[in-house]
């Protein structure tokens, strides 16, 4: 079986994201970029499935500028076999991304598509679901456990009330949650091997995907500043302070 893993280049989760001076986006100059952490979990899961002998080939794909090659090389160093970059300078919205990925699915015919449940930059949580709909195959989102058995996948999902276990027919789209696994560290010799693994680049225009923008960004705003706290000496003072705030 072939697994297609979708990854996205995002601002690293440690970075303090800042609005740019024009107010129409965030600062990316000199900012550390990484593989979206949920996507890294998806790559790790694919590797574990292959290590169990349940898959033969792992293909990683990304949509973005040529800089996204760096994140694809990271996935290759972790152990993926080859990579595809759909190159564009535009920032795609979830539906457009899903359509592009659908084209790749048609081309590659994977038995399983793995992706992060959402990217930590726009937190949309839509692309995996939309891909499943476009492809006409089942979806299992928020996965914290994945077990394959022949033509089926048993997936434990993290839902509001706890855990839910479902069974889906393969091929399917599975999106990964935080507790599914802890990705491995990349080893130095594998970084060298990754440099020689195939990385195919496809221009977005060549895929002939229609992308009318469905969403419009109104404004970017930093979260409100936290007000300075006050030290309180006694319970009475606390009660009075809460009353002043109208909490009590």
Contact residues toward another protein (CB under 8 A) are 12, 14-16, 18, 21, 27, 29-32, 182-189, 191-192, 228
Question: Which is nearer to another protein, 51 or 200 (by Cβ)?
Answer: 51
CA distances from 34 to 58, 64, 124, 234 (A): 20, 13, 18, 48
Element (H or E) spanning 183, and its range?
Answer: none
Q: What number of other Cβ atoms are within 10 A of residue 29's Cβ?
A: 5
- Identify which of residues 125 and 144 has a Cβ nearer to another protein in the complex: 144
CB of 224 to another protein, least distance (A): 14
Q: In angstroms, give the least distance from the CB of 41 to another protein.
A: 13
User: Distance (Å, rounded) from C-alpha 101 to C-alpha 173?
Assistant: 11
Residues 6+ apart with CB under 8 A from 231: none
Q: Which is nearer to another protein, 5 or 11 (CB)?
A: 11
Q: How far is the CB of 192 from another protein (least distance, A)?
A: 7
In the complex, what is the shortest distance from the CB of residue 125 to another protein, in angstroms, rounded to a whole number? 24
Longest dimension (CA), the chain: 70
Q: Which residue, 131 or 146, is less far from another protein as judged by CB?
A: 146
């Amino acid at each position: 079986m072939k697994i297609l893993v979708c990854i996205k280049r995002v601002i690293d989760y440690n970075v303090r994201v800042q609005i740019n001076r024009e107010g129409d986006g965030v600062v990316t100059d000199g900012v550390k970029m990484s593989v979206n952490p949920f996507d890294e979990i998806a790559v790790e899961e694919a590797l574990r499935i292959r290590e169990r002998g349940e898959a033969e080939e792992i293909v990683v794909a990304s949509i973005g500028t040529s800089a996204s090659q760096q994140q694809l090389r990271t996935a290759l160093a972790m152990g993926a076999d080859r990579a595809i970059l759909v190159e564009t300078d535009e920032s795609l919205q979830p539906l457009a991304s899903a359509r592009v990925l659908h084209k790749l699915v048609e081309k590659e015919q994977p038995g399983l598509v793995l992706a992060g449940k959402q990217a930590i930059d726009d937190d949309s949580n839509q692309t995996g679901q939309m891909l499943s709909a476009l492809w006409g195959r089942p979806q299992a989102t928020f996965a914290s456990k994945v077990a394959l058995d022949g033509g089926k996948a048993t997936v434990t999902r993290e839902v509001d009330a706890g855990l839910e276990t479902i069974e889906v027919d393969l091929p399917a789209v599975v999106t990964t949650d935080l507790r599914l696994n802890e990705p491995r560290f990349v080893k130095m010799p594998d970084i060298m091997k990754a440099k020689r693994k195939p990385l195919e680049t496809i221009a977005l225009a060549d895929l002939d995907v229609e992308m009318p923008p469905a969403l419009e960004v109104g404004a970017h705003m930093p979260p409100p500043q936290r007000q300075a706290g006050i030290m309180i000496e006694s319970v009475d003072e606390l009660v009075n302070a809460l009353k002043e705030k109208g909490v009590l």
